[in-house]
A and B are shown apart, each in its own frame.
Chain A
Amino acid sequence: MPSLPPHLKRLEAEAIGILRETAASFRNPVLLYSIGKDSSVVLHLAQKAFAPGKLPFPLLHIATGWDFRAMLEFRDRRAAEIGARLIVHTNPDGLAQGIGPLSHGSQVHMNVMGTEALKQALNQHGFDAAIGGARRDEEKSRAKERVFSHRAPGHVWEPRGQRPELWGLYNTRIGPGETMRVFPLSNWTEFDVWDYIAAEAIPVVPLYFAALRPTLRRSGAMIMRDDERMPLEPGEEIEMKWVRFRTMGDWPLTGAHESRAETMDQVLEELRASRVSERHGRLIDIDQEASMERKKREGYF
């Protein structure tokens, strides 16, 4: 295997160190596996960090009921290949109430089926540290996020209560009821993630690559209709188009863009030419100004 460029080697070593630190410092950590490219990289790094042993923690997927089918297939296949323990949790209350993005809007849906569901799963299993794939370059309020991000009881994120992180000397201590979020990819950019995926040949969900898919236009976004639950409004029609996705989420909330990038090289090339930010395709972030910060305070990952 050709060796990595120096900057990726440093980022890789840093992330491995953070993963080992989590395993060594917490009683019951978990890897929050969202099936996107970032958590695929974290999973890959975790395999390296603990080799020749197996992962010392399980994977947790918060299924909202509106995940792309391709993601679920990919999830089950990867977990089986790696031999990892996979926990899938869906908010039973939300399910009983029939909460969904079309009937209740993206805010309510993400809050009940995403944020609340995550808290339920963490509480239910007593996880004291949850590893995620978030990066500081994703969004402005993320730029100040810690690598080890402290959550008060109730999973509350207090921006002013965060601990300074000096050298690699992370303060991993928590009190009763408190938890930690851990972000090994804090210092990676979207380009680093793709360059690393390409260099290491890490499997990712096929939705990242262009294919002919059934799409419709709604509120300015191109939605791939993944099942029949989305009724067409007057004037809307399904068109088969060459599209791909830059981020993964619930299918009614994730915008596709037209693309013919079918290979890794083509995706990298397209990305380098792009002048639109990664989160642009996420319909949940533009709800309100500073929406990410608010969601985080409430316990969003």
Chain B
Amino acid sequence: MDAIPAGNRSLLRMLTCGSVDDGKSTLIGRLLYDAQLIAEDTLAAITRDSRKHGTVGEEVDLALLVDGLEAERQQGITIDVAYRFFTTGSRSFIVADCPGHEQYTRNMATGASNSELAIILVDARKGLLTQTRRHSFICSLLGIRHVVLAVNKIDLVDFDQAVFDRIVAEYHSFAAAFGFRTLAAIPLSGRFGDNVTQRSPRTPWYQGPTLIEHLEAVDADEDAEALPFRFPVQWVNRPNLDFRGYAGTVASGRIALGEPVVVAASGVASEITRILGPDGEQQSAAAGDAVTLCLAQEIDIARGDMLAPPAQRPSVADQFAAHILWMDEEKLLPGRQYLLRMGHAWTTASITAIKHRIDVTTLGQLPATSLALNEIAVCNLSTAQKLAFDPYGENRLTGAFILVDRTSNRTVGCGMVQFPLRRATNIHQEAYLVDKAARAAAKAQKPMLLWFTGLSGSGKSTVAKLVEEALHAAGRHTYSLDGDNLRHGLNRDLGFTPQDRVENIRRVGEVAKLMVDAGLIVLASFISPYRAERQMVRDLLAPGEFVEIFVDTSLEVCAARDVKGLYAKAMRGEIANFTGVSSPYEAPEAAELVLDGGGVAPEDLARQVLVLVERFQATN
């Protein structure tokens, strides 16, 4: 163990990637073992486990040091990113151990996003595999610039230099396009330790450093200090009236007292008057420092803003092109709204176009209408708010974002900005004198959207029709939207795939919004099976204007009614994507009104809706 106190040690973050059985876990176990970081009681425990779960007979299975979760040990595989730590005299290392299975691309991306260097393992017996290519591409895409090609299990090819040379030559030829700044190829054996920490006498033909020598020496500093100053504001610190500071971590560059800055989004300028670091006042701050900055003027700055030098500003846009890596079981659908986090800013975003998907094996471009788990594509995005960013290729911390599902809050994707799209800047919102309020006043009513959702045959249109008749009789100005008048016209080009359903509802939402803007009471009856799209329409309108009415009729009742004979067809498999049969329906969790469509007469259901409408009309 290192006898040197912390001293001047630096930190290197890296990930290991390879295919199943390439020996990643064993190699990391070897690094920890040789760094003498395995405590006696831990070693005793894995010696015991080796007999139970191990795969190397009577020897101690070093992989068991790192395969942590019970399920993994039982299955003999790694299923999640594990972080490991070891230290040598000159460096501390954080290792992200990433599973190699094809379906765990997302885990590799996670490890790579937090790393400066990647160890890519290749089994000397098998040579380069599809996975090797995939992993190298993902590392490159995520901005890894330093790679070690670890040709493992060299003992199993009799330490043959020809095998090693062939693999290295092949790798060089296909990795040329990946822009790696350093690439070291090392023949080694994780199981026996050759060239890991000790130079192996069995590979006399190899003159390079051992793995650990290389890891200690490689200069993987991102040189984030050389980039323009970027300070994403994380938290406004205002403990009393005399102090107002902006807390955050410098993403790149440097800043010193007296230097000018602007708020990227608003362009408002000020200058730095104080810098508070972990130990109090400082003269300057650099990339990686967690500080609190004070400015000369009191200007409007909130969490999510970015401070930058006036002469080197980031892009500010609400439309941009980016690589997206999809990480969720549920597909990415263009037009659907997701939450997007970039820096400390959260906003909503939708993918306006999938330009092409990337085949990570051939690196070829493929057309795509949606993205499945682990797929990567170049997309155009549109965000609700303008964001400040740099291209990911220039700055990893200010060009990255994550996408989050609005309903479940799962992290569903990650992205890397390529460039801003300028079109947005040329479309200006026109201000009219005759506005929504004026048009509504002329009709003496408050415009609103009654959104009926439920299964096919649940009674949505029947109830909506009764409601509209009653409203009309009472002198209200109304309009009904349903599949019949939209599917045959505006939306005739759309089918019933998940993508088309999303687009269908998006268009309905936009039309309904225009009608509400015109002052009408709009009744929309659509199955609208997805929560996310109903939420999207809700967000298009002012608070209170969107009234979600769930016509809650069970599938059994709907299928028994089968007014249009559709259920019978669907059950026979003649209709694809039929909601409730072969396509999911996500019931509302907080609808304004739930109607019992199975047991109550439509006239009574309509009365319940009318009560709600009149109550809204009576509010100010």
Contact = CB atoms under 8 A, between A and B. Distances in A.
A277 B234 contact: no
B9 A5 contact: yes
Interface string B289-319: 1101000000000010000000000000000
A277 B37 CA distance: 9
Given A166-B400, A189-B85, A280-B41, A20 B92 contact: no
Contact of B411 (A50, A164, A192): A164
Interface residues of A, number: 66
A129 to B, nearest CB: 14
A62 interface: no
Interface stretch (A6-14, A83-91, A111-119): A6-14
Nearest to A11: B11
A96 interface: no
Interface string A1-28: 1001111111111101100110110000
A267 B484 CA distance: 79
Q: Which of B92, B342, B408 has the most CB of A within 10 A?
A: B92
Interface string B310-341: 00000000000000000100000000000101
A278 to B, nearest CB: 8
Contact of A20 (B113, B247, B414): B247
A50 B237 contact: yes
A167 B249 CA distance: 13
A173 B409 contact: yes
A6 B11 contact: yes
B174 interface: no
B436 interface: no
A174 interface: yes
B1 interface: yes
Given A8-B6, A141-B68, A186-B83, A52 B239 contact: yes
A168 B400 CA distance: 10
Nearest to B64: A140
A102 interface: no
Given A20-B248, A277-B41, A166 B114 contact: yes
B41 A191 contact: no
Contacts of A49: 247, 290
A169 B143 CA distance: 16
Contact of A187 (B94, B327, B396): B94
Given A24-B344, A164-B107, A189-B87, A1 B239 contact: no
B82 A171 contact: no
A192 B1 CA distance: 14
A166 B402 contact: yes
B85 A136 contact: yes
B370 interface: no
A51 interface: yes
Contacts of B397: 167-168
Nearest to B7: A5
A274 B42 CA distance: 13
Q: Is the interface of B mostly helix, strand, loop or mixed?
A: mixed
B278 A16 contact: yes
B289 A13 contact: yes
A199 B42 CA distance: 29
A235 interface: no
Interface in B276-295: 276, 278-279, 288-290, 292
Contacts of B289: 13
B109 interface: yes
A160 B81 CA distance: 11
B145 to A, nearest CB: 16
B276 A166 contact: no
B84 interface: yes
Contact of A13 (B40, B79, B290, B404): B290
Nearest to A280: B41
A141 B327 CA distance: 23
B341 A169 contact: yes
Given A7-B6, A171-B404, A276 B39 contact: yes
A119 B591 CA distance: 31
**Range of interface residues on B (Cβ < 8 Å):** 35 or more
Contact of A24 (B303, B342, B411): B303
A199 B9 CA distance: 14
A275 interface: yes
A237 interface: no
Contacts of B94: 187
A13 B91 CA distance: 18
Contact of A166 (B42, B65, B278, B414): B414
A64 B612 CA distance: 53
A165 interface: yes
Given A16-B278, A166-B110, A175 B409 contact: yes
A163 B408 CA distance: 11
Interface in B190-237: 234-235, 237
Nearest to A268: B5
Contact of A169 (B42, B66, B401): B401
Contacts of A289: 49, 70
Given A5-B9, A10-B288, A293-B69, A171 B1 contact: no
B288 A7 contact: no
A234 interface: no
B259 to A, nearest CB: 20
A136 B85 CA distance: 9
B278 A187 contact: no
B225 to A, nearest CB: 13
Interface string A37-55: 0000000000011111110
Contacts of B248: 17, 20
A159 interface: yes
Contacts of B446: none
B75 interface: no
A143 B68 contact: yes
B359 interface: no
A276 B41 contact: yes
A1 B9 contact: no
B561 interface: no
Given A23-B235, A166-B114, A195 B6 contact: yes
Given A13-B290, A20-B235, A144-B80, A164 B66 contact: no
A195 B67 CA distance: 28
Contacts of B173: none
A199 B239 CA distance: 28
Contacts of A50: 237, 239, 247
Contact of B290 (A17, A173, A268): A17
A164 B110 contact: yes
16 contacts: A6-B11, A17-B249, A17-B290, A21-B234, A163-B411, A165-B110, A165-B114, A166-B400, A166-B411, A171-B404, A173-B339, A189-B85, A189-B92, A192-B6, A268-B5, A273-B1
Given A7-B92, A139-B68, 19 more contacts: A5-B9, A6-B9, A7-B9, A17-B249, A136-B85, A140-B65, A141-B69, A143-B83, A144-B81, A166-B400, A167-B397, A171-B411, A189-B87, A272-B2, A275-B40, A277-B39, A277-B41, A280-B39, A293-B70
Interface of B: 1-3, 5-11, 39-42, 49, 65-71, 73, 79-85, 87, 91-92, 94, 106-107, 109-110, 113-114, 234-235, 237-240, 243, 247-249, 276, 278-279, 288-290, 292, 303, 327, 339, 341-344, 396-397, 400-402, 404, 408-411, 414
List the 3 shortest-distance A-B pairs measured between CB atoms, nearest first.
A53-B239, A140-B68, A277-B39
Interface of A: 1, 4-14, 16-17, 20-21, 23-24, 48-54, 136-137, 139-144, 159-160, 162-169, 171, 173-175, 178, 186-187, 189, 191-192, 195, 199, 268, 272-277, 280, 289-290, 293
